[in-house]
Structure 1
Amino acid sequence: MFKNYLKIAWRNILKNKGYSIINIGGLAIGLACFLLIAIFISNELSYDNYHEKKDSVYRVIHHSNADSPDDAWVWGNAPVGPALKSDFPEIIEKAQFSGRSDILLEYNNRKFQEGDCFYADTSVFNVFSWPLINGDPKTALEAPYSIVLTETTAKKYFGNENPVGKTIEGIGGRAADGTYTVTGVMKDVPQNSHFSFDVLMSMSSFYQTRPEIFDSWGYVDFYTYVLVSNNFDQTAFESKIPDFLKKHIEPEVAEQYYYNFSLESMNKIYLYSKADRQPGETGSLSNIYIFAIIGLFILIIASINFMNLATARSMERAKEVGIRKVIGAERKGLIYQFLGESLILVLFASLLGLLLAFLGLPWLSSLTGKAFAMASFITAPILLLYFGTTLLTGFFAGSYPAFILSGFKPVRVLKGAFRTSAQGANLRKGLVILQFSISIALIASTVVVYYQLGFMLNKDMGFAKDQQLILDFNWDGEVLNNVEAIKGEFLALADVSSVSLSRTVPSSHFPAAGTDIETYEGNMENFSPYIYEVDNNFIQHYKIDVVAGRAFSPDFPTDSISSLIINEAAVKEFGYNDPNQIIGKKFQQWGREGSIVGVVKDFNYISLHSEVAPLTLRQVPYGRYLSLRISSNNYKDAITAIEKKWNVLAPHRPFIYSFLDEAFNKQYISDIRFRKLFTIFSCLAIFIACLGLFGLATYSAMLRTKEIGIRKVLGANVSTIVALLSKDFIKLVGIAILIAIPFSWYAMRQWLNEYAYKIDVEWWVFLLAGAIALSIAIATVGFHAFKSANNNPIKSLRTE
């Protein structure tokens, strides 16, 4: 019997090639999209799963605001790690990293500035599953000036040699200066890791340069992880934290500076952590939900197409059912036949979908910036989900013709008394409404996503970010010793109109500073605003507006020792309503005392995901970056001239530059990827919906062929017939628009809540989405209507 089912299914495919292509092709595309989205989501959910002890690893999260428990940092002090291991037997091991460092490394005249470098405890290889290819993991990071390289980094300097025992120079990185001995080579950190790096240096190397910070509970420069015992109870442990802090932090310090901490499981870091200062990228749980919904929508739309066309076409086989029943076929056998044929068609579609998904993997990798290997493509859970879904689709698609057609009375069918049932027609209409409701919601959502990201990329950030060339010299001592002369040399270039020195620039790393400010009542209160250390030209160079007081100026030599400038957010944080009220108030910050001389307008020095936070600016003679404002639009020549000058002024350092607007927009790289994926998958969903509408329109026009012929003979023109055939579908799309609007409005409002600065969801978005869907429907249905209306009526009426 199976052979018979297969033969009949194959004959039906060949007999109706157009419908078969639409049916199998549409479902295959839908299944391929579903599978690609499943692979993407599976990858997002796999972060840090490669660590053997992941269930027992926790990260210390630091809190510095008693009024805002959610105001948390991953980056914190050093002494908390050793104290935890010493005081709690359930803490088996602690592993600490310094903050990320950029270090210039040199070997045999090959120099590279490495951007992902950390100082680390020797215990990191016990806590994390980062296997060493060469070297002993127990001692690799034990001695001062030891260094472990990833496999890719090692090959860059040493080729295929074993570098263990060789030395490499660290240059110009302040604490990183020195000769390092390579003590290990480890495999590259997997891409599905919340923490990635290229170089690890022994923490004892860092201790050589700044031993005092390892005992300071107020100094922030470390990431702390702990390995706990199997019976660890996080709730019970955190109840002991208050007593632990009382033991280690002096009462007078605790009264002045609030500090607390909590633990965060490694299993929740990538998708659930809300703490600031992450050591690597984090994912978005809401985006995973969105993609899961899109994948489900695409599958639903593809399945609806398949079911609609299957049920519509099955009506043509009513006489076949009647004949089979007359010659003795049982209903059970007919049910098996129709279900079997449906499952065979779905099997063809699933195999084609697998091929399309396989071909689409490189495309998915390029869009997401993540490598998807075949291993992720053929995992058992994903394939089980895939084929389970296809079998369900096939069952539901074949269930209507199987159970309805098999129940027809053969006498009525063979007499020609059978007509398409109202029940079947209403089912198809309902499914068309559902799929176009989904499509319209996706169109509206795509428009909102597109404009939100455009708003973020084009919003006035409150400072001049265009035509800013940033030179990164990484605190190089020789450069700093001659920085004023270097600035003057650059200013002498025709393409450079302004130069500024600073420790940070917008979008790059910046610290926070414990700061005492004189309040309105005259008391000194402690805050922890962010800090920009800049030269006296920074505010003018970046065209930041001053709303009260003044900017730094060479006319005030004491600015470098006793002046502070803050932003409007800091004014509010310090309890003042008018920026002018805080001018002249006293401050104490990082060993400096003086008065506040100016207030700048809030500018978005971090991404628009967050509101502008309190910021202080103070003048210093050092920094890491030179900002050059380019006055020419000929960037190529300008960069060439600047590079030539740099090679003369600092021949010992590579010329490392970036444009500020490009670097700043890198903060939105995950948003850009999200927009691309969302838009492409939404367009594919709409395309699949149109395929189904195309097939149904063809079938509808075919059923009314004789009616169209009669109307033409009686004098109906083409436009009348087109309107007749199109109006039913247009009504369905109109209903879909009404259903989709509230759903998509609510969903996009929820999604936009993730952004501190966002667009309003305007009414025209839904009008546009509805107009696009309506235009697509009219074009799709109208094509067949026009074609049918232009057919010669003699052909359709010849048999009457």
Structure 2
Amino acid sequence: MLKNHFKVAWRYLWQSKGSTFLHIGGLAVAMAAAILILLWGQNELRYDNYHQDVERIYLLTSYDSARGVYFGSGVSPYAASSVIGETVPEVEQIAMANTNTRNYIFEINGHRFKEDDALIVDNNWVNMFDYKVLQGSLDNFLNNPHSVILTASRARQYFGDTPPLQQIFSIDSVAYSVGAVVEDLPANSSFQQGTLIPTSVYQTEGADAHLKTWGFYSQLLFIKLFPNTSVSQAERKITNIFHNNQPWNKEIYINHLIPLMDLHFKQELSNPVIAKGNPRNLWIFTVLAILLLAVAGVNFVNLSIARIGFRMKEIGIRKIVGAAKNQLFAQVMVETMLAVALAMGFALLVALIALPDFNAFSERNLTLNLLDLPVTLLLLGVFLTVLLLTGVYPALLLATLKPVGLLKNQGLAGMSRQGFRKVLVTGQLVFTVVMMVGIVTIHRQFVFIQQQTDGYQKEQVFKLYVPFQLGFKSSDNEAVQKHVARTNSVKTRLLASSAIHSVSRVNGASMIDDKRKYPTEITWLGYAEAQDPLDVVNIQVDEDYAEMANLVLLSGRWFDMENSADKYNLILNETAVKEYGLKEPVVGTVFSGGIYWDEGGTVIGVVKDYHHKSLHEKIDPVVFTLDPFNAPSYLVKAHAGNVPQALDHARKVWEEFVPEHPFDYSFLDVEFERLYKNDRKALFLSTTFGGLSILLSCLGLLGMVSVSVQQRTKEIGVRKVLGSSASGIVAMLSLDFVILVGIAILIATPIAWYAMNRWLEDFAYRIDIEWWMFGLAGLAALVIALMTVSFQSVKAALANPVDSLRNE
């Protein structure tokens, strides 16, 4: 019997290829999207859980209880490692890593470069964390201070097809060998760095002295506690150690241990090296995946019922000749299962084809391995969910219909009275309208971001960071003077090219993403002394920075290099004036103290607030100082169309003044893209999901209108015989669906308003949601619905009425 059911199901699907394509195609696309989203979500939830004893591994952090922020992006002093390991009995093991490898010069076969994607780790690192060795041995790394570990992809990048274990390369002119090649890190690893460098590299720059001080935060310290150990007790003991060695921070910082598996979603910990996830996005995308499956399931049900209209007599005859309800139920369920199985097969194919692009988009390394138990359970769960959603309702409906009604084609009338399907289709339309409002809102917010930052002229500006000469010591006055003279000469030589419009010097932070807030206590003459220092962003600049950054002076003047007093003067932004409580006239206000100023000075200017970091965050108080020593970055603005020539000239200047370092630059527009990368992703995803929801809603409407047309075939024939026009019949058939669209718009409007307001809460500066966005989305939904409905309505209205009445 089961074999016969499959034969009948296959024959039926094959005979109606067009409708089968629509039937299965929509479901396959939705299932493929859901599979990719759920794979991503599963990866997010399983971050770092592959390490042995992961539940006992924690990141040591310093927490500023007064301001409620983590200090130093989760890093700790190098000196803390040995003291904690020796004096805290709860600690089984402590490992450390330094993410700052930009100061080191790599050289392979004569090619010199900087490696951003690397970690400097101690021996405990490879003992605490799991790496699968492909070639060599971890013992080579542990026993040889001049040995590194590479991932398989990094080894190919460095050496191609040459056996990596036989290769030697240099870091700051010191030879290093490849001790081991390990498997590429899993997609759910917080540390995706492809190169592990031993701590012996510190000796190449004489860094031991500053590493040993408790005031220099440079290391990620991971602590593995003994089983059944009190975390809070370990935190208290570590905090006491820090207070004993940092008396200046005794009243400010306490130490927290953050579980390794919580790091991925720890948004407050802003370390750029640790891969960050957004729990809100996880829930949003998971809900979207479920909604896509639900919408596709509704379409499947509607199209299934529409297709049943062509089989009414067949099913009626089956019942008359003795087919039992359970047999009819089984037949329909087998047909549904076969269709869902085919959809799942196509969905897997689409998912596999789309996976590389999806990985590139999501910046993950996801794999679709059918032998992986979680993946198998995931796919099985999707299959069973869709089968239950799409199979049970049509099967029960058919099994319970009376054979006489089926033979007279009256079965659809019973089905059409079921308001349940109209509710489901309305739900689809609600989803579509919400997605369209989302597309409009996110697009307008991104346009707003572009408008707020247009003044930067991002495409024509690139940044050069000129590092200190190798062996530089700040205590050597002669070396300091040489450095200042060199940086001045670099600017002069850059300006010698006709391809370059202007050059400005600034400290190493980004012009569009500067978050370096530090407590700064300034005493203003004539004002009461503040109880707590204000967190400000200090930007050290030269006389040309205002023009380069397109700053607007509201009062006063900019710095003048010829004016020696400007070395001690300040320029404030509007927020700094407000936060410090200064009154007009602000220009001329005298101050004393501060971190960067040994002597008092005067406020010589106030600039209009500008976005020195992402629009997700509020503008901070900004204090500008004139500092020729601490401004080693050069912002170079090229003339329009002369960017290649400007880069060529900059390369020659670099080779003249900084020959010991490889030429290194970055464009401002690249930094901008990186800063708003997640927002671009949100725009892309909203557009993609919006398009899918529109497609699926169209299929749902198509199925529903097919049922309606079949039910009212004779009515349409009678109306045409009595003189109704084709346009009148189309309007009659469309009215029900226009009402559904109207109901959907009413329901979707508050949902979309709430959802978009929640999304915009992530931006400190944002657009207002306006009524026309909902009107535009509703109009678009109405047009799409009418176009879909008219496809079947016009066909029915133009049909020969004799054909619909001959069998009455």
TM-score (norm 2): 0.88
Please tell me the residue identity of whatever aligns with 1:742: P
Of 262-271 and 475-484, the range deviating more from structure 2: 475-484
In the other structure, the counterpart of 2:22 is: 22
Of 703-712 and 160-169, the range deviating more from structure 2: 160-169
Q: Aligned pair 1:668/2:670, yes or no?
A: no
In the other structure, the counterpart of 2:593 is: 587
In the other structure, the counterpart of 2:110 is: 109
Which of 273, 283, 286 is 1:289 aligned to? 283
In the other structure, the counterpart of 2:377 is: 384
What secondary structure is seen at the aligned counterpart in 2 of 1:273?
Answer: coil
Q: Aligned pair 1:335/2:332, yes or no?
A: no
Q: 1:348 to 1:85 in 2, by over 3 A?
A: same
Q: Aligned pair 1:625/2:633, yes or no?
A: yes
Alignment partners' CA distance in 2, 1:155 and 1:596: 57
In the other structure, the counterpart of 1:280 is: 274
In the other structure, the counterpart of 1:725 is: 733
Of 743-752 and 126-135, the range deviating more from structure 2: 126-135
- TM-superposed deviation, 1:460: 3.2
- TM-superposed deviation, 1:790: 2.5
CA contact (8 A) 1:733 1:774 kept: yes
Of 43-52 and 296-305, the range deviating more from structure 2: 43-52
Alignment partners' CA distance in 1, 2:351 and 2:540: 51
Report the count of equivalent residues.
Answer: 788
Q: Aligned pair 1:553/2:553, yes or no?
A: no
Alignment partners' CA distance in 1, 2:564 and 2:166: 51
In the other structure, the counterpart of 1:534 is: 541
- TM-superposed deviation, 1:582: 8.7
In the other structure, the counterpart of 1:440 is: 433
In the other structure, the counterpart of 2:477 is: none
What secondary structure is seen at the aligned counterpart in 2 of 1:4?
Answer: helix
- TM-superposed deviation, 1:596: 5.1
Which of 152, 170, 173 is 1:168 aligned to? 170
Cα shift readout 1:322-366 (whole Å, capped 9, x = no counterpart):
433333333233322222322222222222222222222233234
Of 400-409 and 417-426, the range deviating more from structure 2: 417-426
Give identity over the alignment, percent.
Answer: 31
CA contact (8 A) 2:58 2:257 kept: yes
Cα shift readout 1:177-204 (whole Å, capped 9, x = no counterpart):
x525346344354443323334444435
Cα shift readout 1:22-47 (whole Å, capped 9, x = no counterpart):
21222122211211211222233343
In the other structure, the counterpart of 1:224 is: 221
- TM-superposed deviation, 1:499: 0.8
Written as runs of structure 1 = structure 2, the 5 A alignment for 1:734-745 is: 734-745=742-753
Which of 340, 352, 355 is 1:358 aligned to? 352
Q: 1:275 to 1:361 in 2, by over 3 A?
A: same
CA contact (8 A) 1:31 1:299 kept: yes
- TM-superposed deviation, 1:550: 4.0
In the other structure, the counterpart of 1:306 is: 300
Q: Aligned pair 1:51/2:51, yes or no?
A: yes
In the other structure, the counterpart of 1:506 is: 511
Alignment partners' CA distance in 1, 2:771 and 2:371: 44
CA contact (8 A) 1:486 1:649 kept: yes
Which of 512, 516, 519 is 2:521 aligned to? 516
Q: 1:71 to 1:438 in 2, by over 3 A?
A: farther
Q: 1:579 to 1:378 in 2, by over 3 A?
A: farther
In the other structure, the counterpart of 1:174 is: none
Of 618-627 and 296-305, the range deviating more from structure 2: 618-627
What secondary structure is seen at the aligned counterpart in 2 of 1:73?
Answer: helix
Written as runs of structure 1 = structure 2, the 5 A alignment for 1:669-708 is: 669-708=677-716
Written as runs of structure 1 = structure 2, the 5 A alignment for 1:174-573 is: 179-182=174-177, 184-187=179-182, 188-206=184-202, 209-240=206-237, 243-250=240-247, 253-254=248-249, 258-314=252-308, 317-375=311-369, 379-410=372-403, 413-414=406-407, 420-421=413-414, 424-460=417-453, 465=458, 467-476=460-469, 482-504=486-508, 505-507=510-512, 513=518, 515-518=520-523, 520-522=527-529, 526-527=533-534, 529-547=536-554, 549-560=556-567, 562-573=568-579
- TM-superposed deviation, 1:441: 1.3
Alignment partners' CA distance in 2, 1:768 and 1:717: 31
Q: Aligned pair 1:92/2:88, yes or no?
A: no
Please tell me the residue identity of whatever aligns with 1:365: N
Alignment partners' CA distance in 1, 2:195 and 2:412: 74
CA contact (8 A) 2:146 2:198 kept: yes
Cα shift readout 1:649-696 (whole Å, capped 9, x = no counterpart):
655554433321222221222332232233213311221221222233
What secondary structure is seen at the aligned counterpart in 2 of 1:629?
Answer: strand
Of 722-731 and 93-102, the range deviating more from structure 2: 93-102
What secondary structure is seen at the aligned counterpart in 1 of 2:356?
Answer: helix
Of 395-404 and 86-95, the range deviating more from structure 2: 395-404
What secondary structure is seen at the aligned counterpart in 2 of 1:282?
Answer: coil
TM-score (norm 1): 0.89
Of 399-408 and 675-684, the range deviating more from structure 2: 399-408
Q: 1:197 to 1:36 in 2, by over 3 A?
A: closer
Cα shift readout 1:478-514 (whole Å, capped 9, x = no counterpart):
9865332232222122222211223323256775556
Q: 1:385 to 1:62 in 2, by over 3 A?
A: same
CA contact (8 A) 2:140 2:179 kept: no
Please tell me the residue identity of whatever aligns with 2:493: E
Alignment partners' CA distance in 2, 1:139 and 1:345: 56
What secondary structure is seen at the aligned counterpart in 2 of 1:498?
Answer: strand
Q: 1:39 to 1:81 in 2, by over 3 A?
A: same
CA contact (8 A) 1:106 1:168 kept: yes
CA contact (8 A) 2:540 2:631 kept: yes
Alignment partners' CA distance in 2, 1:54 and 1:686: 44
Please tell me the residue identity of whatever aligns with 1:193: S
Cα shift readout 1:702-732 (whole Å, capped 9, x = no counterpart):
4333333332333322221211111111111
Please tell me the residue identity of whatever aligns with 2:449: M
Please tell me the residue identity of whatever aligns with 1:354: L
Please tell me the residue identity of whatever aligns with 1:126: N
Q: 1:248 to 1:331 in 2, by over 3 A?
A: same
- TM-superposed deviation, 1:287: 1.0
Alignment partners' CA distance in 2, 1:650 and 1:739: 64
Cα shift readout 1:754-791 (whole Å, capped 9, x = no counterpart):
22222222222211111111111011111222232233
Q: 1:137 to 1:200 in 2, by over 3 A?
A: same
Q: Please list every run of 5 or more consecutive structure 1 residues that lacks an aligned counterpart in the other structure.
A: 171-177
Alignment partners' CA distance in 1, 2:273 and 2:408: 76
In the other structure, the counterpart of 2:478 is: none
CA contact (8 A) 2:487 2:632 kept: no
Please tell me the residue identity of whatever aligns with 1:468: V
Alignment partners' CA distance in 1, 2:462 and 2:410: 80
What secondary structure is seen at the aligned counterpart in 2 of 1:658?
Answer: strand
Q: 1:328 to 1:161 in 2, by over 3 A?
A: closer
What secondary structure is seen at the aligned counterpart in 2 of 1:140?
Answer: helix
- For the aligned residue pairs, the C-alpha RMSD in angstroms reads 3.3
Alignment partners' CA distance in 2, 1:413 and 1:191: 55
Alignment partners' CA distance in 2, 1:357 and 1:769: 30
Written as runs of structure 1 = structure 2, the 5 A alignment for 1:640-659 is: 640-644=648-652, 646-647=654-655, 653-659=661-667
Please tell me the residue identity of whatever aligns with 1:502: V
CA contact (8 A) 1:72 1:274 kept: no
